[in-house]
């Protein structure tokens, strides 16, 4: 599906797409390369995808960069991933700012290396004025952890006398790191795996899911277009159902 095709029917395309960028390690292993090379190529795929997203009518992109569980990986791999964050922000921040991209980082700040935390703060502050496109990076993020943190905020507010009454979905949602972002329309996972892996558990409630058999370093505009096309062919009812206009139509449908 081309960007031009989506542009002619924007009402059917997703506005907010979330990506589980899976397959960097396998991409490198199949080529006899160290895993870090897969992560580096994955950064190139991210650049291609960010650039292509607006052409498909996408206005918000949320990417799973580093999970709370990823700290258990070998120390050298974690160090390489942190290095890529430093490199990406250092080389791309000014370009993204100039392109009207607002960067928002989801997840826990505590536990991050001091310089990474400073980079995160700088990226958010430097692009806070932009409103053309929202790029959310889930970093040191886990869906369960985010829900636990939101619940803890309500507990703290209750103890401080700032919150009373029964907890609503809106109350809990307001405490998530994604609060204020548009609803997630489409969640895409690459590499052929078919699970969410603790990503956007609350936000996924009515999102469409697409699983693509492509390793993340090979991703780009064409693969994103295929995911958008699959989404556009689906009918979203949010738990409801189509209602036939009259009894005659209902009878006809039953025959």
pLDDT digits (tens, 9 = 90+) for 15-36: 999 999 999 999 999 999 999 9
Residues comprising the chain, all counted: 255
pLDDT computed for residue 235 by the predictor: 82
Rounded Cα distance, 115 and 86, in Å: 9
pTM of the predicted structure, to 2 decimals: 0.87
> 3-state SS string over 96-148?
HHHCCEEEEEECCCCCCCHHHHHHHHHHHHHHCCCCCEEEEEEEEECHHHHHH
pLDDT computed for residue 1 by the predictor: 44
pLDDT digits (tens, 9 = 90+) for 54-74: 999 999 999 999 899 999 988
Rounded Cα distance, 54 and 68, in Å: 29
Residues with catalytic function: 22, 70
Which residue has tokens 């999970």?
Answer: 67
In this prediction, residues 162-171 reach a mean pLDDT of 94
The two structure tokens encoding residue 99? 């392109």
pLDDT digits (tens, 9 = 90+) for 81-125: 898 888 888 899 999 999 999 999 999 998 889 999 999 999 999
pLDDT computed for residue 239 by the predictor: 67
């Amino acid at each position: 599906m081309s960007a031009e095709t989506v542009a002619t029917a924007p009402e059917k395309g997703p506005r907010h797409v979330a990506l589980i960028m899976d397959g960097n390690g396998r991409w490198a292993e199949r080529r006899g390369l160290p895993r870090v090379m897969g992560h580096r190529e994955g950064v190139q795929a991210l650049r291609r995808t960010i650039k292509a997203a607006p052409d498909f009518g996408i206005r918000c992109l949320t990417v799973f960069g580093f999970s709370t569980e990823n700290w258990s990986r070998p120390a050298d791999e974690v160090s390489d991933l942190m290095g890529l964050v430093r490199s990406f922000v250092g080389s791309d921040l000014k370009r993204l700012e100039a392109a009207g991209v607002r960067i928002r980082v989801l997840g826990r700040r505590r536990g991050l290396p001091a310089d990474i935390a400073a980079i995160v703060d700088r990226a958010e502050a430097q692009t806070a004025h932009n409103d053309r496109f929202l790029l959310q990076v889930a970093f040191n993020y886990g869906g369960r952890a985010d829900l636990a943190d939101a619940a803890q905020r309500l507990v703290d507010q209750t103890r401080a006398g700032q919150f009373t009454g029964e907890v609503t979905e809106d109350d809990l949602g307001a405490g998530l790191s994604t609060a204020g972002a548009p609803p997630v329309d489409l969640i895409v996972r690459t590499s052929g795996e078919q699970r969410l892996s603790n990503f956007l558990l609350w936000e996924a409630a009515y999102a469409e899911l697409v699983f693509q058999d492509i390793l993340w370093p090979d991703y780009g505009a064409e693969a994103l277009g295929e995911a958008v096309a699959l989404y556009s062919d689906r009918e979203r009812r949010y738990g409801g159902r189509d209602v036939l206009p009259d009894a005659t139509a209902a009878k006809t449908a039953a025959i």
